[in-house]
Amino acid sequence: MDTISRLTYISPVGSSTSQNRGRSSQGRQTPARGQFLKALVLEARGGNRFILDIGGSRQAVMSEAELSLGQTLRLQVVKTEPQIELKIVSNPIEQLQGRTLTLLGKNIDLAGLLDGLQQPSPPPFDSLSPTSRATLEKFFDLQLNGVEGKEGGQVLKQLIDSLGLNLEQLLAKGDKNSAVVTLKAALLEIAHNFSKAGNIAETTNKILATLELFQLTQLQVGGETQLLLPLPLPFIEQGYLIVERDEKSGAKENIQPENRFSLHLSVSELGNMQIDFLRNQEGLFIRFRAGNKQKADFIESFSEDLKKAISDVPLISLSFSGDAPDPIQDLVRHLVPEGNSMLDTKI
C-alpha cells in the first residue's frame, strides 16, 4: 500500500497565467472536502517547500513527502480549516493494473445478486439494514423500467446518481445520510456481512470492483471539461458515457458552447457500438459507429424513425460507419498516456 503523505497550502504564488485569466487569489473558489485535484511539481525550494501547479494556479506548499520536479500528483482535500490540507492518493494507473477485466462481465447487473439474496432458510436479504434493502430494490426497479420515452434521461440520471461514485467524498464532507442510500454503500454492507457466502460474495465483489474502476478512471481522465460515467442498464453488456464540453467555444458573447458526448457500448446482437454527439448553435450532429458495415446498414435502416423522434433541436447530420472500437480497449486508451502500457511486457 502506498504511504499517504499530507500537503499543506502556505500561500498562492502569482503567475502570468492567473493574471491573464483575471482571477485573484481572493476570488478563487475554495475546494471542498473530499474533492480530488491534479497537481504538477514545478519547483523545489528546500525545507520541504515546493511550488505546485494546481488547476492552472501556482501554489506554494509544504510537503512531508519527497517530491520530484515534473512529478504529477493526485490529491484529495482532507481539511479546509484553518488552512487547506491535502493528501497524496495512489496513482490510478497503478491501482488499475490487472483490474480492467472486471468490465468484461455483465455491466452492474443486480439480478444474480438479488436471486442469491432470496435463498431460503433464512433469506439473507432480510438480514440487511432497511436502508440497504430499500436502496437495492429501488435501483433494480429503475433498471427494469428502462430508458425508453421522454422520461428515459431522468431514469438514467437517477441510476447514475445512486451508484455511489462519490461515496467517499460524501463521507468526507460528513453527509452520511446521502452516502448510506447509494448502491455502493449497500454493496459494502453485503460484502461485509456475507464475505464467506460463496456466490453472493463473488457477485458483490465483482460489482464493487466495477464501481471502483469507474471511480479510478474518472480520477484519471476527469476534469472540469470531461466526465466518464458507467451506464448501469441491463441490456448493455459493457458501456460508459464520456461527456466533454468545449468551454473555449463559449468564451465569446452570444456564442453557445459546443457540447460533445459519446456512448461506448457493447450490446447483445449488435456487438460493439460508439455513438458520438455534437451539439452547437447550428444544431445536432450524430455519428453511429458499428462493429462492421452490415450492422451499420441495419442501424441506418431506422434513421427515419430517429429523425422523427428528435424534435427539440435541428438534426444537421446523421452518419453511419462500421469502424466501432472495442469499448474496453478504448477505455484503456483514455486511461494510459501515449507511450505507456497497462501490461508489463518485460521478459
pLDDT, position 85: 79
Cβ neighbourhood burial of 131 (10 Å; 0-12, 13-18, 19+): middle
pLDDT, position 222: 57
pLDDT, position 238: 81
pLDDT, position 15: 42
- Low-confidence residues in the chain, pLDDT < 50: 1-5, 11-12, 14-27, 92-105, 250, 339-347
pLDDT, position 102: 42
CA dihedral 115, 116, 121, 123 (to 10 degrees): -70
Q: Are 225 and 138 in contact (CB under 8 A)?
A: no
Domains along the chain?
6-90 (2.40.50.140), 96-220 (no CATH), 235-335 (no CATH)
| Residue 210 to residue 279: CA distance in whole angstroms | 30
- Read off the C-alpha cell for 95: 491501482
Specify the pTM: 0.65
pLDDT, position 347: 30
How are strands ordered across the β-sheet holding 226-230?
226-230, 236-246, 258-267, 271-279, 284-290, 315-321
| Residue 208 to residue 194: CA distance in whole angstroms | 14
pLDDT, position 134: 93
